[in-house]
Every structure is written in C-alpha cells, then in structure tokens.
Amino acid sequence: MRKSFIALGVFAFVLFAMSAYARPVPSKALEQRLKNGPEIIGILHFGLNTYTDKEWGYGNANAQLFAPEKFDAEKIVDACKAGGIGGLVVVAKHHDGFCLWPTKTTSYNISRSPFRSGKGDFVREMCEACRKGGIKFGVYISPWDRNNADYASEKYVHTYHEQIKELLGGDYGEIFEMWFDGANGGTGWYGGADENRIIPKDYYRFGEIFQFVRELQPMITIFDGGRPDSDFRWPGNERGLLDANSRATTLAPCEEGYRKQLNTGTAEGSCFLVCEADFPLRRGWFYHESERGTTKNSAYLTKLYLSSVGNGGTMNIGIAPNKEGVIVEEDIRALRGFKIMKEAMFSKEATNAGEEFNVVTLEEDLSAGEQVDEWAIIADGKGILWGESIGRKRIRLLKEPVAAKNIELVIKKHGGNLQQVTFRRYFADPSLVAAILEASTTSGETDTAKWMTKGKAED
C-alpha cells in the first residue's frame, strides 16, 4: 500500500492499494457518447398499439386506425427538452410489424394509413424535429414481426436487415443510438397464419447486423442485442433501478453468470457495457387512457435519476403520445418539474473550505476503464460517504448538510492504472433533498409544487 496525490477536486487526495489486472474500456463511439452525449434519453412508443389499447400488438390491426389528428413532432421534442432529455429513440416498428415510415420492405406501413393522406413519414418528422430542437435522434426497429408472413424464414431476415439499412443508410441523417431487445418468436398473425412460430438461435444474425450498422453509422452506440460488442446493456428491470455500486464492467453475455450480474456488473468482467436504465413514464410503454394518473411525479423521476445516472448508468424515460399524437399535460408537467429539481440540485457549487454541502458527484476518467474499487469521503476526519465503484458518475445526497475544513476523497483500492477522478460538492435546499429522498410513485405532485412554481417564475 502507498499514498499518492492526483488532481481530483477541492481538498482531495488518494490512498490506495493496487490490484493489477487489465480492465475493459469503452468503444470509441461509447467513449465519445459518455464525454459529450446525453445522460438522459427518452424512448418514444407510438403506433397502432396506441389505438388498440395494447402493449404488444398481434400484427392484425388495420393500418387505417393510425390517425393522429393533432400530431406535431416539434411539440413532442419540446416536451422532451423541457424534461432535460437530450436524445430520443423513436420506436419505428414494434412487435406488431407496423412501420412508421414508408418502407419498401412491407405494405404494412404508414402509407396505408390516413396519416398525411397516406404520404406521411412519422419517423422523418420526428428526426427533423429532433435536429431542429437540438437533441439526438435514434431508432428502434423490432426484430420480431407478428404481421409478416415470412417471419421465422430466411426471407424475413433479409427483410429485417433491409429495414435497418433504410433508416441508417443516410436518408435520416446521423443516428446516435440503435435499440434492440429480446422480445421475439411466439404467437402472431403472420399474414393470416395465426400461429406460434419459434426461431432458432442467432436467427437475426446480429453479428452481421452490428457490422453493417457501424459501417453505416460509425459513431452510433448500440443497446443490448445480447452481444459483447454492444455499448449498453439492459439492467434486468424496467424500473430505472441500478445497484449503488453498479459497474459498466461486466461478464460477456455468453459467459456463465452474466444474467445474475446484469444490474451490478463485476470488476473481473471482460466487457464494458453501460447499464441503460429504461422505464416508462406511465405504467405502460404505450399510452392507455385507463392509466391516467399513473405518471411518475417529478420528485420520483429525480430519485430515479440518482438511481440510474447517479449509479454509473444512463437514464431512459419511456414517452407515450395519446391517440391524437399529443403528450398529455400530466406527463409534460412531470418532465418539466424533473428538470427543474435536477438542475436545482447542482445550482450552487461549494468550492471553499467550510462551505456547507449536501450533494456530491464523482466522475472517473474511463480511458483505462473503471479502475476504482473502493472509495470514501472523509470530512474533518469522519467518514460521511463510501462505496466501491465510481465509473462514469456517482451522485450522492446527504440527509443533513456538512461543513468541514478538510475534505478528502480516499481511493482505498483500484485496478492498478488509476486515472483522474473528479470530485465536486454542491449545496441544495434541504427541503428539495428531502423531497427527492422520500419520493415514491404514489407521493403525488405536492412534494414538487414549490419547485414547479419556482420554474414558472424563472421562465
């Protein structure tokens, strides 16, 4: 064991024991995303499911149902920006197979709907609105297709690959993230067959997909797909929750034990896959009128921000327009209040000795991977915070403010190639901190009324 000093922030030093083994590092695209990209994104679910009141459509709904009379892509983007969302993944095709762009690969697409008199392109309108609004644009194209008669055959695999190429080939500009998930194979309409179809392992040929996706979009990041060459992994829940010591360092998806450490990762892992903590703003991913009143309140969204971004991951909020193509007011209000509360946490940085603080952020230079294995913050000789990993970011709130002359960040253990760790302190209104720490999905907006009022006064 030895002592070393490193540029970390105010009144900070490092005390560490080294354990020598190489740590995996992020891909070049992910490294740039972590440095400059959004830490909060959204995923937009809208389609025939919105009109049939389903989460997973069967593939037999009439395309004529899709008729959002008040849809305005710029207003949706504005609502997302008001919530601090910096990138939006648009569900261009869900499991029902209905494509929200005029694809050449299937007739089951938006051109068969009344939208824009059959000449519309929902994906393009969202893409253009994102660029105009200054947020990143991404897509999700479901591998499973419960409408396509060729599903489970080699012909459908070609169709699916072509759908991806249509959206990533340049006509829709730069794509910051491509989403994949594990929902595939089962019952479906399948062109009228109305049967159960099971697909073989590696049916979609994701290795081939990843290769051409990155050729078409060199700086794209990829979510899941169950592959070690992804950039993001699913954390094992759709509640936005990560373990306090969750790591991007993880076993490879093909390794035994991978699923057991989905949420936590492991310092001995061979892959660098950041947890993307996804959850719907409402109870379901698509809009359902029966779920009115289930929107997560602003304080709880801020608590989920601490659980996701504050535990080394990214935050992905499910956004769902209604049948008119509009984000309803309760959702807009919750998102807007979330941004106000989040920004209020970091509005006053404490940079001098003796200044009160109750919010702490830690960030690790990831050029050598996640090196920190154990850390503590000492205030005037007393430990006030501690943990294992740091990685991209840790955010910690203190129930009571602390004022100390000497603040030390102690790195007790690391992987042997420690890079710079940035340590910052902030003072937030104690009533805000209490509202966030005590928030629940059932606490309502009363806890955040003060901060909503504050935000309106500053507009």
Ordered DSSP codes for 355-385: -EEEEEEEEE-GGG---EEEEEEEETTEEEE
pLDDT above 60 for 326: yes
Residue closest to 214 by CA, chosen among 226, 234, 229, 227: 229
**Cα-based torsion angle of the residue sequence 83, 85, 86, 89 in order, rounded to the nearest 10 degrees:** -150
pLDDT of residue 18: 52
Tens-digit pLDDT profile for residues 267-302: 999 999 999 999 999 999 999 999 999 999 999 999
Judged against a pLDDT cut of 70, whether residue 454 lies above it is answered with no
> Residue for token digits 């007011």?
329
Identify which of 51, 68, 48 has the alpha carbon closest to the alpha carbon of residue 116: 68
Residue 166 has pLDDT above 60, yes or no: yes
Q: What is the DSSP-derived secondary structure letter of residue 295?
A: P
Which amino acid belongs to residue 160?
Answer: Y
- Residue 207 Cα distances to 37, 161, 162, 177, 211, angstroms: 25, 12, 15, 17, 6
Question: How many Cβ atoms sit within 10 Å of the Cβ of residue 405?
Answer: 10
In this prediction, residue 10 carries a pLDDT of 44
> DSSP letter at 152?
T
Coil/strand/helix, residue 341: helix
199-234 as b/e: b if 16+ CB within 10 A: beeebbebeebbeebbebbeebbbbbbebbbbbbbb
Where in the chain are all domains bearing CATH 2.60.120.260? 2-23+347-458
Distance CA 273, CA 224 (A): 9
Q: Each residue of 352-405: pLDDT tens digit?
A: 999 999 999 999 999 999 999 999 999 999 999 999 999 999 999 999 999 999
In DSSP terms, 222 is beta-bridged to 178
Q: At the fourth CATH level, which superfamily is domain 2-23+347-458?
A: Galactose-binding domain-like (2.60.120.260)
Residue 74's SS3 state is helix
What integer pLDDT is reported at residue 224 of this predicted model? 87
Neighbours of 164 (CB within 10 A): 21
- Can you tell me the distance from the alpha carbon of 237 to that of 224, in angstroms, rounded to the nearest whole number? 13
Q: Which residues touch 304 (CB under 8 Å, ≥6 apart)? A: 240, 241, 277, 279, 296, 315
Residue at token pair 């009143």: 293
Residue 2 is predicted with a pLDDT of: 31
Q: Average pLDDT of the chain? A: 92
pLDDT average, residue stretch 163-171: 97
Structure-block tokens of residue 400: 């009571």
- Measure the CA–CA gap between 419 and 344, rounded to whole angstroms: 30
Predicted confidence (pLDDT) at residue 103 exceeds the cutoff of 90: yes
State the pLDDT at residue 176.
98
* pLDDT per position as a tens digit, 31-82: 999 999 999 999 999 999 999 999 999 999 999 999 999 999 999 999 999 9
Per-residue pLDDT reduced to its tens digit, 206-223 = 999 999 999 999 999 999
In which residue ranges of the chain is CATH 3.20.20.80 found? 29-335
Q: What's the CATH code, domain 29-335? A: 3.20.20.80
User: Average pLDDT of 239-253?
Assistant: 97
CB-based burial of residue 133 (10 Å sphere; 0-12 exposed, 13-18 middle, 19+ buried)? Answer: middle
Task: Give the pair of three-digit tokens for residue 393.
Answer: 């970011």
**10 Å Cβ neighbour count for 13?**
14
CA distances from 44 to 257, 352, 369, 372 (A): 32, 43, 31, 35
pTM: 0.94
Q: Is the pLDDT of residue 85 over 90?
A: yes
Residue type, position 149, single letter: A
d(CA 426, CA 59) in angstroms, rounded, equals 51
Q: Could you tell me which residues come within 8 angstroms of residue 295 by beta carbon, excluding any fewer than 6 positions away?
A: 281, 282, 330, 331, 334
Please state, in angstroms and rounded to a whole number, the distance separating the CA atoms of residues 276 and 265. 13
How large a percentage of the chain has pLDDT more than 90?
A: 89
Dist. CA 81–CA 87, nearest whole Å: 9
Neighbours of 381 (CB within 10 A): 8
